[in-house]
């Protein structure tokens, strides 16, 4: 237990520093390439911060623990929007672009609902996993092409930006890479310590996957979004949250299924856990719409309250499941 506690604390410290370096690199990349911070948040940052979820879910299916794998995806998606989104909105109200509400947020809701027909037979087959990966690749290609169009428009409208205090493109790529490495190692340390503690106190696989592992693997998103919010980079935060949920649902679930097809419990196949994930996703979208593209502090409180309610449900009614 002392070692587990030390890993947890050390991992959190490494996460914070990694997030700081990642945000600096991501903002610099956006400036040097002439694309919006939102695009970088939806791709580079979101994919990087979703790496711990992918690693955790793959490890779970290799050990024939499908509920941990899919519970990690659901729990991470809920934690991203309710816990991370709520905390960030309390620190600094999140500003959401109109384009994001029209394109990326509906895409996030679509892929979440898509898991219902795919998992309704209580299993994820390899062909279904390839379908998820195919949709993921199509979305990434669309985002990249949109970014390329933005770069062309900017190059016509104005000359390339001069070097700023953020440095050149190579330096910023190195910073982003180092930040992602720090996030990955920090999350691995924190999750290892937290799971050891969870097993010691007798939590079930489903609860460990949906709570400890979900929150642990969402730590990169949490720390990155908090750091970005403190620096005023709202597009990085929003892109990270929405992009990470899309990547979790498609890339993490699909990759785990390709590595090894797995079974899931009814709670994750149209059961209450599935609908909680969909409701939280819809709630985040409604908060942005109601706030006229701003997720304010009051909405942040509601999102955090929803996450606390989710934890109470898990620990009270399903801890022995």
Determine, yes or no, domain membership for 93.
Answer: yes
pLDDT of residue 165: 47
Split into its structural domains, the chain has a count of: 1
Average pLDDT, the chain: 80
Considering the domain boundaries, does residue 161 fall inside one?
Answer: no
Q: Is residue 141 part of a domain?
A: yes
Q: What is the pLDDT of residues 232-248, one digit of tens each?
A: 777 888 888 898 899 89
Structure confidence at residue 231 as a pLDDT band (50, 70, 90): confident
Residue 162 maps to a domain: no
The predicted pLDDT at position 275 comes to: 94
**Single pTM value for the model:** 0.77
- Does 286 reside within a domain? yes
Say what the pLDDT of residue 8 is: 66
| 199 assigned to some structural domain | yes
- The pLDDT > 90 percentage for the chain reads 30
Q: Is the pLDDT of residue 164 over 70?
A: no
**262 falls within a domain:** yes
**Which residue segment(s) compose the domain that 34 sits in?**
2-156+167-317
pLDDT of residue 167: 58
Per the CB < 8 A criterion, the answer to whether 236 and 27 are in contact is yes
For the residues 197-218, what does the mean pLDDT come to?
Answer: 68
pLDDT the model gives residue 318: 63
Task: Tell me, yes or no, whether 277 lies in a domain.
Answer: yes
Calpha distance 89→272 (Å, rounded): 26
CATH number of the domain residue 127 falls in: 1.20.1420.30
Task: Please give the average per-residue pLDDT across 121-136, as a whole number.
Answer: 94
Confidence band of 69 (pLDDT split at 50, 70, 90): confident
């Amino acid at each position: 237990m002392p070692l587990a506690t030390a890993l947890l604390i050390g991992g959190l410290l490494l996460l914070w520093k990694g997030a700081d370096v990642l945000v600096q690199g991501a903002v610099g990349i956006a400036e040097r390439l002439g694309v919006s911070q939102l695009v970088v948040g939806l791709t580079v940052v979101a994919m990087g911060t979703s790496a711990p979820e992918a690693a955790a879910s793959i490890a779970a299916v290799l050990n024939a623990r499908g509920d941990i794998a899919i519970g990690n995806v659901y729990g991470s998606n809920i934690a991203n929007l309710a816990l991370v989104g709520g905390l960030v909105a309390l620190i600094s109200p999140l500003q959401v672009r109109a384009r994001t509400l029209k394109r990326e947020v509906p895409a996030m809701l679509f892929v979440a609902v898509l898991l219902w027909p795919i998992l309704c037979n209580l299993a994820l087959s390899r062909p279904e996993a390839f379908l998820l990966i195919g949709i993921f690749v199509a979305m990434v290609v669309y985002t990249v092409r949109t970014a390329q169009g933005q770069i062309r428009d900017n190059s016509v409208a104005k000359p390339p930006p001069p070097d700023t205090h953020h440095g050149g493109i190579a330096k910023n790529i190195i910073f982003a890479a180092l930040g992602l490495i720090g996030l990955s190692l920090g999350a691995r340390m924190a999750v290892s310590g937290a799971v050891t503690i969870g097993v010691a106190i007798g939590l079930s696989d489903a609860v460990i996957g949906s709570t400890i592992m979900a929150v642990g693997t969402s730590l990169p998103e949490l720390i990155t979004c908090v750091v970005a919010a403190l620096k005023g980079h709202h597009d990085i935060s929003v892109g990270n949250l929405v992009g990470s949920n899309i990547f979790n649902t498609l890339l993490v679930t699909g990759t785990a299924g390709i590595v090894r097809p797995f079974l899931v419990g009814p709670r994750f196949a149209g059961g209450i856990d599935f609908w909680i994930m969909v409701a939280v996703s819809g709630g985040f979208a409604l908060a942005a719409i109601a706030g006229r593209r701003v997720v304010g502090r009051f909405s942040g409180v509601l999102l955090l309250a929803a996450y606390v309610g989710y934890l109470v449900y898990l620990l009270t009614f399903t801890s022995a499941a």
